[in-house]
Amino acid sequence: MSARTEAGAASPTLELRDVAKSFGAVAALRSGTLEVSPGSIHALVGENGAGKSTLVKIVAGVHRRDAGTFRLLGTDVDFGSTAESKAAGVAVIYQEPTLFPDLSVAENIFMGRHPLRAGRRIDRPQMYAESEALFSRLGVHIDPRRPARGLSIADQQIIEIAKAISLDAALLVMDEPTAALSGVEVDRLFAVARSLRDEGRALVFISHRFDEVFALCDMVTVMRDGQYVSTDAVAETSVEQIVARMVGREVAELFPKVPAEVGDVVLEVEGLNRAGVFHDVSFQVRAGEIVALAGLVGAGRSEIARAVFGVDRYDAGRVALAGRPLPQRRPRAAIAAGMAFVPEDRRQQGLVIEGTIARNVASVIRTRLDRFGLLTARAENKAAGPWAGRLEVKTSALDMRAATMSGGNQQKVVLAKWLATEPKLLIIDEPTRGIDVGTKAEVHRLLSDLAGRGLAILMISSELPEVLGMADRVLVVHEGRIAAELDRDQATPESVMHAATGSVTPLSQEVTA
Amino acid sequence: MSTTTTTTSAQTPAPVRTYRSYARPLWMRSLMTHEAAVIALLIAVFAWANGNVANFDGPLTLYYLFLDTAPILLIALPMTLVIVTGEIDLSVASIVGVSAALTGVFHVDAGLSLPVAATLAVGVGIVAGALNGFLVAYVGLPSLAVTIGTLALFRGIAVGLLGDSSITDFPDKWTDLAKERLVEESAYPMILLPIAVLAVVFVLLLHFTGFGRGIYEIGLNDEAARFTGVNVERTKFMLFVLSGAVSAFAGVYYALRYGSVRGDSAYGLELQVIAAVLLGGVSIFGGRGALHGVLAGVLLIGVISSAMRLEGETVNKINIVIGVLLVLSVISTSFLSWASGLRSGRRWPWASRSRPDRAARQPQS
């Protein structure tokens, strides 16, 4: 599998110059330029729609470029398939885990190249042993025998990373690999990434988190509107400089929440319990307040939110909205009472990705749109248009499929769909995951604005700066329990991380913000 | 948040955008579809047969075509809705069989009046559909397996009711009604009336209600549908009940139309129904399709069989033609989605199926 040439040590591992790619009339990439040296970690940053993903897909062999130079290990290449790029030593870890859910973890890692025993039988013991070796190198404990189904996003990504490492790739492209990882897991990943760099491999790291870029990477290339902007050594630049280049204007990275008048209790959760998932969870959210559920990935934050909304069951406890108790497992009742829920997984849960924008935006309010029991596309379009407009969804027409849009735009569609119900409570799970800086600020401003108008917001976020910037109160969840409740002035990176990890000794972690 | 002004923003207030409702003009949206292609093909084949097949334009051809396709037209309506949710109901022909047998047993053997016997038969069809629906929606079993099971179960009941015998002595009053024409000497039998009523009901249900929107959402992504407040279980349950009810109604018609019922009445009808639904442009994976295409698909199969029979072709040849048509239809559906996906840079849908990242996203229930 190793296609590395020893002589190529000085020449760049990957060299892209003025690469262009259009889809129909849309130029996704005008002139992509990227040069990655062996033994370095190279950050690729830019807003969503800047052309990063297209560039990565060209390297991965998913798309063929229309123009430009593409060299790998010093030789001109032109991949027609992902298999060709893999064979040439490229490994790509995508944002979205792409595992076979019914196969075991080890089988997923060794898909298509299982170790064999005599008689071409799959050598399971060796496969498990090699998987375990990979995991211990990554510092994680996943049973290689268990099926991939049901693993958390974090674990699934770890498996993708293990797969790429096992391929012994010369070039590793990681497309937001840390988006779903907790702080500890990110640290482990970084340690592995550094050791891979020290082995002489080239890494491309795409992230929206600048603290990670600056902590991990050696070089940084900025892209904007499908074009190359700049390449700098990370040590010689600053976050402000990079952000300014990305957006072409100065932007406050985080929009801090404007204090709003806090009103009556909107959401009341009492003694919520589900065996093995969360225990004795009680809290309140008031009108005009943003309450954050912070904690590590897998602590049970999303599960609590899903139970409150009614998609998951709970064993004991009580949920009341505006004083009215809500039945279990009845999302419709929760919606009718004024609850809105923006889930973590946009593509699977937030919207019907193959559906049109109009149908997605009107999907919750359509019960109010019918006349004499009949619902027309016209009524849906009429209702959806203004809401899409208020959130400044970027699209040419309302019948475009949501799948064709960028992550930030998809999130706006999900928000439009729920804000159209004019809710009393908005539960929002990872509001800005996978969203570019500009849209991120827009979402933060919107949430602050909504709270200012009396909406109660329960926000789940794994990004500490977001939690600290936005929340009036922070509830830190640790292993299914609310470990701490911190007011705005008590919440610091240290206090939140302390409670989230349940650690006794203070952490000496280089936490962000 | 009912106003659009942003009071807190210090930046330039962006104007509220407005959007076109559709990216393409109306004629493209309505004519460049699978449904339109099936309708065009139906018209073309019909016109061709009228001019070239002897006796096709005779008074009886269309009349018998409608009489014969009536059960398929009926059952295709709920079947479309079931398939759009991504499920399937293979037990419909067995429900037709049970219902036809019960109509005979209740009316001829037990002496109940036909309306009572028919109502009872439809009631049993509802119970049968409810059984399917319960197992699929609430127990969570795959509909393919469930309805293969109930296909055998209901057929067994039908055969058990009648054994090797058949019931033939239906009163003329009722068998004539099944064959009655809407207007004297016209080619349109009376059964088209309930078909038209049900077709309107199902078109409204699927295309013009929130319930119908939910059906498509379930087919595209049932998890997202659930997060949107769609009652996935109840929707599926209702559709299987509707399927049972309409199939049982078709069974009553079947008994009277032929004036004779046996345990194996309507054997294999489910495959004809599903073939017509798929020919009409409904995706077997769910989420796509429309009822006008399905109705055209049923009639297209009917016209082709009828024309070929008049030409003296055997059933085998007819089946070959219809089979080829169905395969072409499925390929063209994939081709169309590939062609429209060209802009977004996708590849052949079947070429990418072998990629693990696609495989992982296959429907999981």
pLDDT (average), residues A364-381: 91
> Alpha helix (H) ranges present in B280-314?
291-310
Max CA pair span of chain A: 76
Give A146 or A406, the one with higher predicted confidence: A146
A98 CB within 8 Å of a chain B CB: yes
Mutation pick from B9, B17, B362 vs chain A, by most beta carbons of A within 10 Å, is B17
Cα(A114)–Cα(A19) distance, integer angstroms: 36
pLDDT of residue A255: 62
Report d(CA A42, CA A197) in Å as an integer: 10
Interchain CB contact of A352 with B (< 8 Å): yes
Which of B180, B208, B225 is CA-nearest to residue B365? B225
- pLDDT score at A6: 42
For A345, nearest residue in chain B (alpha carbons): B224
Q: Is the pLDDT of residue B344 over 60?
A: no
Please return the burial class of B3, using the count of CB atoms within 10 Å of its CB with bins 0-12, 13-18 and 19+.
exposed
A448–B8: do the CB atoms touch at under 8 Å? yes
Q: B273 falls in which pLDDT band (50, 70, 90)?
A: very high
Q: Hunting for tokens 């912070």 — which residue is that?
A: A294
For an interface test with B, the pick among A344, A363, A415 (most B C-beta atoms closer than 10 Å) comes out as: A363
Overall number of domains in chain B: 1
Tokens of A187: 């640290």
- pLDDT for res A334: 95
Query: Tokens 């009103």 appear where?
Result: A263
| Contact residues on chain A for B342, CB-CB shorter than 8 A | 24
Please say whether the beta carbons of A397 and A427 come within 8 A: no
Query: Smallest Cβ distance to B227: which of A96, A349, A376?
Result: A349
- Any chain B CB within 8 A of the CB of A509? no
Nearest to A207 by CA among A176, A244, A245: A176
Beta strands A90-93; A171-175: pairing state: parallel
pLDDT recorded at residue B336: 67
Q: Which domains does chain A have, with CATH numbers?
A: 6-99+151-247 (3.40.50.300), 255-338+423-513 (3.40.50.300), 354-422 (no CATH)
* CA-to-CA dists, residue B86 to A434, B68, B91, B364, angstroms: 30, 28, 16, 11
**Which residues in chain A are contacts of B208 at CB distance < 8 A?**
374-376
**Order of strands, sheet of A265-274, starting from the edge strand that comes earlier in the sequence:** A278-286, A265-274, A316-321, A324-325
Q: What dihedral angle (degrees, nearest 10) is formed by the CA atoms of A38, A41, A47, A49?
A: 40
pLDDT at A196: 82
Considering only alpha carbons, which residue of chain A is nearest residue B29?
Answer: A399
Q: Which domain holds residue B303?
A: 32-333
Beta-sheet strands, E only, within chain B: none
CB spacing of A366 vs B345 below 8 angstroms: no
Contact between residue A399 and residue B22 where contact means Cβ atoms under 8 Å apart: yes
Q: Which residues of B touch A341 (CB under 8 A)?
A: 227
Between residues B198 and A504, the one the model is more confident about:
B198
CB contact under 8 A, B8 and A449: yes
Contact at 8 Å (CB) between A9 and A38? yes
List all residues of chain A from 229 to 258 with a beta carbon under 8 Å from chain B: 258
Instruction: Decide which of A462 and A180 is more confident.
Output: A462
B227:A311 CB<8 A? yes
Closest CA to B71 of B265, B240, B207: B265
For A306, counting Cβ atoms within 10 Å of its Cβ (0-12 exposed, 13-18 middle, 19+ buried), the class is: buried
Look at B348 and B332; give whichever has higher pLDDT: B332
Band of pLDDT at residue B348, cut at 50, 70 and 90: very low
Give the pLDDT band (50/70/90) at residue A513. Answer: very low
Q: What is the mean pLDDT of residues A323-350?
A: 93
Mean pLDDT of the B96-125 span: 95
At B132 the three-state DSSP class reads helix
Indicate if the pLDDT at residue B29 is higher than 80.
yes
C-beta of residue B181 within 8 angstroms of C-beta of residue B118: no
Dihedral angle sign, alpha carbons of residues A433, A437, A443, A445: positive
Both tokens of B5, joined, read 């002004």
pLDDT digits (tens, 9 = 90+) for A464-480: 778 888 999 999 998 88
Residues in chain A closer than 8 A to B338 (CB atoms): none
Query: Are the CB atoms for A33 and A228 separated by under 8 Å?
Result: yes
Sign of CA dihedral B177, B183, B187, B190: negative
Cβ contact, residue pair A94, B357, below 8 Å: yes
Structure confidence at residue A456 as a pLDDT band (50, 70, 90): very high
The predicted structure's pLDDT at residue B356 = 35
Rounded Cα–Cα distance for residues B299 and B303 (Å)? 6
Contact A331 B226 (CB under 8 A): yes
Angle, CA of A148, A153 and A155, to the nearest 5°: 60
Determine the distance in angstroms separating the CA of B36 from the nearest CA of chain A, rounded to an integer. Answer: 19
Q: What is the pLDDT averaged over residues A168-196?
A: 80
Q: What is the pairing mode between strands A40-45 and A202-206?
A: parallel
When CB atoms are compared, the residue of A23, A343, A385 closest to B227 is: A343
Say which of B2, B21, B212 has its CB closest to residue A397.
B21
Residue with tokens 């889930």: A343
Answer whether residue B364 is part of any domain. no
**What is the distance between the alpha carbons of residues A13 and A15, in angstroms, rounded to a whole number?**
7
Size of interface A-B (CB pairs under 8 A): 140
Of B94, B41, B110, which Cα lies nearest the Cα of B280? Answer: B41
In this model, does residue A208 exceed pLDDT 80?
Answer: no
As given in the structure block, the two tokens for residue B84 are 């759009």
Q: In this predicted structure, what is the pLDDT of residue A83?
A: 84
Predicted local confidence at residue A270, as pLDDT: 95
**Which pLDDT belongs to residue A111?**
84
The shortest CB-CB distance from A389 to any of B1, B8, B17 is to: B17
A69 in contact with B, Cβ within 8 Å: no
Residue B241 has pLDDT above 70, yes or no: yes
Pairwise CA distance, residues A354 & A49, whole Å? 19
**Chain B residues with CB inside 8 Å of A378's CB?**
21
pLDDT at B220 over 60: yes
Integer Cα distance of A465 and A478 in angstroms? 19
Q: Which residues in B lie closer than 8 A to residue A396 (C-beta atoms)?
A: 19-20, 23
CB of A418 within 8 Å of any CB in chain B?
no
Q: Kindly state whether A340 is in contact with chain B, defined as any CB-CB distance less than 8 angstroms.
A: no
pLDDT of B60-92, one tens digit each? 899 999 999 999 999 999 999 999 999 999 999
CA-based R_g, chain A, Å: 24
pLDDT at A10: 59
Give the whole-angstrom CA distance, residue B360 versus residue A44: 27
Q: Record the pTM.
A: 0.75
**Which A residues in the span 183-222 are in contact with B, Cβ-Cβ below 8 Å?**
none
- Residue B7 domain-assigned? no
- Residues recorded for chain A: 513
Report the residue of chain B nearest A348, measured CA to CA: B224
Residue of A nearest to B208 (CA): A375
Q: What is the rounded average pLDDT of the residues B30-39?
A: 90
Confidence of residue A510 (pLDDT cuts 50, 70, 90): very low
Interchain proximity B217–A352, CB inside 8 Å: yes
At A2 the pLDDT is 41
Query: Looking at residue B65, which CATH number applies to its domain?
Result: 1.10.3470
Average pLDDT over residues A426-451: 87
Question: What token pair was written down for B361?
Answer: 């996203």
Q: Is residue B161 part of a domain?
A: yes
Q: Which residues of B touch A (CB under 8 A)?
A: 1-2, 4, 6-9, 14, 16-23, 204, 208-210, 212-213, 216-217, 220-221, 223-229, 231, 287, 342-345, 355-357, 359-360, 364
Q: Does any domain span residue B54?
A: yes
Cross-chain residue pair A351–B224, CB shorter than 8 Å: yes
Name every chain B residue with its beta carbon within 8 A of the beta carbon of A343.
227
Element (H, E) at A161: helix A153-166
- Contact with chain B for residue A458, Cβ under 8 A: no
ipTM of the prediction: 0.84
Q: Which residue of A has its CA nearest to B231?
A: A332
In a domain, B17, yes or no: no
Mean pLDDT, range A68-95, rounded to an integer: 86
B226 within a domain of the structure (yes/no): yes
Q: Residue A375 and residue B359: Cβ atoms within 8 Å?
A: no
- The predicted pLDDT at position A502 comes to 67
pLDDT at residue A31 is higher than 70: yes
Candidate ranges A223-237, B4-18, B345-359; pick with highest mean pLDDT: A223-237
Within A248-309, residue ranges assigned H as helices are 301-309
Mean confidence (pLDDT) of chain B: 87
How many whole angstroms separate alpha carbon A295 and alpha carbon A300?
9
Q: Residue B75 has what pLDDT?
A: 98
Residue/partner pairs of A370-379 with CB below 8 Å, 24 or more apart: A370/B209, A370/B210, A373/B209, A374/B204, A374/B208, A374/B209, A375/B208, A375/B209, A375/B210, A375/B212, A375/B213, A376/B208, A377/B21, A378/B21
Range among A148-157, A236-245, A333-342, A462-471 rated most confident: A333-342
- For A396-414, the pLDDT digits (tens) are 899 999 988 888 889 999 9
| Cα A416 from chain centre | 20
B216–A355 CB contact, under 8 Å:
yes
pLDDT of the residue at A295 = 83
> Do A389 and B16 lie within an 8 Å CB cutoff?
yes
Q: What one-character DSSP code corresponds to residue B16?
A: P
Give backbone dihedrals phi and psi of A290, rounded to 5 degrees, phi first. -110, 115
Task: Tell me what pLDDT residue B186 has.
Answer: 84
Per-residue DSSP letters for B199-244? HHHHHHHHHSSHHHHHHHHHHHHHHHHHHTT--HHHHHHHHHHHHH
| Per-residue pLDDT tens over the stretch B184-194 | 888 899 999 99
Instruction: Confirm if A8 and A73 have CB atoms less than 8 A apart.
Output: yes
Please, which residues have CB within 8 angstroms of residue B332's CB and are 6 or more apart in sequence? B34, B37
* Residue B315 resides in a domain: yes
From B220, B343, B360, residue closest to A354, measured CB to CB: B220
| Nearest C-alpha in B relative to A58 | B345
Q: Angle formed by the axes of helices A124-138 and A153-166, to 10°?
A: 110
Cα dihedral: B44, B46, B47, B50 (round 10): 160
In sequence order, the β-bridge partners of residue A27 are A22
Q: Is residue B325 included in any domain, yes or no?
A: yes
Average pLDDT, chain A: 85
Determine the pLDDT at residue B63: 93
Of the candidates A364, A397, A453, the beta carbon closest to that of B229 is on A364
Strand partners, A482: A477
Percent over 70 (pLDDT), chain B: 87
